[in-house]
Amino acid sequence: MEIRVFGLVLLLVLCAALPAESQNWEAFKKKHIYPSMDERRCTDTIKDKKINYGGICKKMNSFILARKDQVKAVCGAAGRAVRGNLRESNKPFSVVTCNLMQSNPCKYVGQKSTRCITIACEKGFPVHYERERPC
């Protein structure tokens, strides 16, 4: 019994010690980085990745068709400061934007484009997708 309690306490301590930025980076990767995303798969991808929470359909979600290291680089030399912790990419990315067309069940239509992306960064990691725009 003591070993179980010790193991549980150790697990809780280790989880609490994880840096917040790495947890947000993990969520960002799940929600926004998908190198092989196809605009015809928006509904299935958003469902598979469980991007909608509590049965509420997200109105829009954008997927960046790039490697993780390429997106992360926007937080450094591959991006420029916009305001606060926001950075805009110096070069365009291929992006699939999925827009909600129907609720219950959630159905999306996607559009692929080439855009500069603006992301929020914390300690060198992307943590929020702000917007995309023509470069």
**What DSSP string runs through the chain?**
-HHHHHHHHHHHHHHHHS-HHHHHHHHHHHHHB-TT--GGGHHHHHHHTT-SBTTBPPSEEEEE-S-HHHHHGGGTTTEEEEETTEEEESS-EEEEEEEEEETTTTEEEEEEEEEEEEEEEETTEEEEEEEEE--
Q: Which of 31, 32, 72, 115 is catalytic?
A: 32
Note if 128 is an active site residue: yes
Q: Which of 58, 68, 128, 130 is catalytic?
A: 128
Active centre residues (catalytic): 32, 128
